[in-house]
Structure 1
Amino acid sequence: MDPLARYDSLVDDPEAFHEACERPLPSVVRVNDIKATPDRVRRAFEEVGVGYEPISWHDGLFRLADDISPGNTWSYVHGWVYGQEEVSAIPALALDPEPGERVLDCCAAPGSKTTQLAALMDDRGLLVGNDNNLGRLSALRSNAERCGVTNIAVTRQDARNFSIKPFSREPFDRVLADVPCSCEGTVRKNPDAVEDWSLGHVESIAGVQKAILNRSLEVTREGGTVVYSTCTFAPEENEAVVQHALDSHDCRLVEYDLELEHAPGITEWEGDTYDESLQRAKRIYPHHNDTGGFFCAKLEVGA
């Protein structure tokens, strides 16, 4: 049985959902505002014959022609663009950091969302890029350097017990918790995500996710923002994890704008019920926008 069939009751068109999951994922790049503008990238692509299409909901994203690899473009080498899946751009936009703030990306490597956060912050303030994988941290540092990010501090800690001691013990204004997950939503570029799927893995990784989100809320100031995101469809890793945070912490779910077509978070799954406010979370399915799958929820600390 296809593991994705367990979500047929959640989508509006199961047949279209499965067909989309079987198609290759389009290549997308994000303009790095620290070094370039969308117009400059357009001109650079056109000068060397790189085929592209603008993405309607965000003027800093371009979908590349099928024969183009993002990493082989001149603009990528010079840090003008970052190869980033379209839906992967959502969490940083939802977090909406301001220049000069203190921001933590607690599972940062290899750096697509971290470099996007830096650009949204105008490369000002403090941006902590944390990961517990040394090899992936090397990629984070390399990508940050290529993109011209200077406001970043790279740390290696377990996000489940991240220490703010090195940062004057001061809480953060905003935290991004884009957590490790079962990665079902990446099936269009990574078929192994469903071939190796097991409910046991989903349930075990959910425990890690709950701990990371808990710590993210603990290190965020009152009135601050935490964004929780995954690239999976599993409610056990999405709504159930956020529900655990609502039950354990003084926080609430808040709305955020997203022009990309999406479905609301769910409030019931296999006998479990979740707070009605979870409808403020966003579910993105592959057949709606020809993208990968994603889940993103925005929380405010101190309800």
Structure 2
Amino acid sequence: MRLSPVVVTHTEEVLREVIRFTGPADVTLSRYFRDHPKLGSRERNAVAEGVYAVLRNKLVYASFAGSGSGSAMRRLTLLGLADAVGAEALGGLSAEEAEWLSRIAHIDRGALPPAMRANLPQWLFDKLKDRDGEEATLQLAEALNRPAPLDLRVNALKAKREDVIAELATAPIQCEPTPYAPLGIRIHKKPALQNLPLFQNGAIEVQDEGSQLLAQIVAAKRGEMVVDFCAGAGGKTLALGAAMRNTGRLYAFDVSEKRLNKLKPRLARSGLSNVHPVVIAHENDAKIKRLSGKIDRVLVDAPCSGLGTLRRNPDMKWRQTPDSLTELTAKQSAILASAARLVKPGGRLVYATCSLLDEENEAIVDSFIQGNEGFTLVPMKDVLAEQKIELEMGDYLKLSPHRHQTDGFFAAVFERNK
């Protein structure tokens, strides 16, 4: 069944706004769909997937869109939609457009220049290539340019993983256990989870396996005082609260009241009562100072470039620049230094990002260790062994989509020894 010709029109219209890169693509799409409530779910899905296909493949598609007649923006739109739903599903194409799409489909992309094949900005491609080599960078880029599967975390307070898998099978939703996270489930299609009783009663939450592993290496225990320093919408907060078996005290700090408000309905579903969301003005807020030296575990999932999440947020690669990276690294160092003051002797501090870049990861850790002799690095291989997670790592957790089928994540664990 062909899609209505209006799908091409709407996709082109919203794509014009998205590729200005003045804000996140998902926010722009959500606003557009609110403004156009008559679009059905099939049409909305096609529009969104078409836009994301363009964002993933922008360099190649912009090159292809330079050929042919008519508007280059319409041709860019058609390439994205053909990628997302298939050219044969598009209604309202002229014979010339259909022939052009068919011709483009037969171009050998392997013959394109490496940076174009990677569909990465030149500065980012060069940075990764200088570190890892061209072949490894192309493998990483290929994985980053594929849509991510949907990962769920089972709320251990409410369900067992095997029971959830069995119940999902009756929906029927095909799924499998994640290979590393003990409470993770991977779904390769994207069903409407919000209609499932499992979701409504808080037995499952959407969370990438890599993010689940970050929460697990914090190793929060019953009765402890724990801080999620940059909690955002609270995915890791919920995982930490469940690991603590709803005991102790878990603070969810964030500078954005709007983000913390998104945690509230998730918190209500989860059954957790040990979580205390706190809006802070900045990393040196007085609310933080009052807890200085009292906390058992602190997680700093720092604001970062987000370049490890390109499978879900492909616009991030076009929105970040070398200058924005410099601003982020200064912020990351300041946040980590402030969070470290909370940790009591014998307590642990976890620094994490969803970035692939050394500047945001190893460089921040090295600088912190040099300036904080009261902390020592705990090798990640030891932390993973404590948690019985079978992953080959050295000093740090370094997850990537082409090796681990997760988003790209980095983490380091420190222990306060005085």
Normalized against structure 1, the TM-score is what?
0.88
CA drift of 1:260 comes to 6.1
CA separation in 1, counterparts of 2:323 and 2:361? 16
The one of 163, 169, 173 equivalent to 1:46 is 169
The one of 253, 261, 264 equivalent to 2:377 is 253
CA drift of 1:190 comes to 0.7
Alpha carbons of structure 1 residues 162 and 97: separation in structure 2 relative to 1, 3 Å: farther
CA separation in 2, counterparts of 1:58 and 1:117? 14
- Indicate yes or no: 2:228 matched with 1:102: no
CA separation in 1, counterparts of 2:415 and 2:288? 23
CA separation in 2, counterparts of 1:72 and 1:241? 42
The total of aligned residue pairs comes to 288
CA separation in 1, counterparts of 2:232 and 2:175? 27
Alpha carbons of structure 1 residues 237 and 229: separation in structure 2 relative to 1, 3 Å: same
- 1:7 counterpart letter in structure 2: L
CA separation in 2, counterparts of 1:68 and 1:86? 18
CA drift of 1:103 comes to 0.2
Alpha carbons of structure 1 residues 283 and 209: separation in structure 2 relative to 1, 3 Å: same
Report the more deviating stretch, 114-123 or 58-67.
Answer: 58-67
SS at match of 1:23: coil
CA drift of 1:168 comes to 6.5
Alignment check: 8 A CA contact 1:220 1:226 kept? yes
SS at match of 1:292: coil
- 2:128 counterpart letter in structure 1: Y
- Indicate yes or no: 2:291 matched with 1:291: no
CA separation in 2, counterparts of 1:222 and 1:22? 43
- Indicate yes or no: 2:331 matched with 1:204: no
CA drift of 1:55 comes to 1.2
Match of 1:59 in 2: 182
CA separation in 2, counterparts of 1:240 and 1:145? 39
CA separation in 2, counterparts of 1:202 and 1:168? 30
- 1:118 counterpart letter in structure 2: G
SS at match of 2:199: helix
Match of 2:243 in 1: 120
Alignment check: 8 A CA contact 2:289 2:342 kept? no
SS at match of 2:352: strand
Task: Provide Cα deviations, 1:191-220, integer angstroms capped at 9, x if missing partner.
Answer: 111011201111101111111111111111
Task: Provide Cα deviations, 1:88-123, integer angstroms capped at 9, x if missing partner.
Answer: 112211110110000000111211100000011001
CA separation in 2, counterparts of 1:56 and 1:210? 33
Match of 1:7 in 2: 128
Match of 1:23 in 2: 146
1:44-193 pair list within 5 angstroms = 44-158=167-281, 160-164=283-287, 171-193=294-316
Match of 1:268 in 2: none
CA separation in 2, counterparts of 1:35 and 1:167? 34
- Indicate yes or no: 2:358 matched with 1:243: no
Normalized against structure 2, the TM-score is what?
0.65
Highest relative contact order (Cα 8 Å, sep 6+), 1 or 2?
1
- 1:297 counterpart letter in structure 2: A
Task: Provide Cα deviations, 1:144-203, integer angstroms capped at 9, x if missing partner.
Answer: 111111001110014521445796766201100001111001111111110112011111
CA separation in 2, counterparts of 1:194 and 1:260? 31
Between structures 1 and 2, the one with greater helix share = 2
Alignment check: 8 A CA contact 2:152 2:185 kept? yes
Sequence identity (%): 29
Q: Structure 1: 5+ residue runs without aligned partners?
A: 265-279
Task: Provide Cα deviations, 1:29-48, integer angstroms capped at 9, x if missing partner.
Answer: 00011221112212321222
CA separation in 2, counterparts of 1:56 and 1:191? 25
The one of 177, 188, 194 equivalent to 2:317 is 194
CA separation in 1, counterparts of 2:329 and 2:353? 11
CA separation in 2, counterparts of 1:162 and 1:94? 27
CA drift of 1:247 comes to 1.7
What's the Cα RMSD here? 2.1
Task: Provide Cα deviations, 1:34-74, integer angstroms capped at 9, x if missing partner.
Answer: 22111221232122212111112233101013142444433
Q: Which has more radius of gyration?
A: 2
SS at match of 1:236: helix
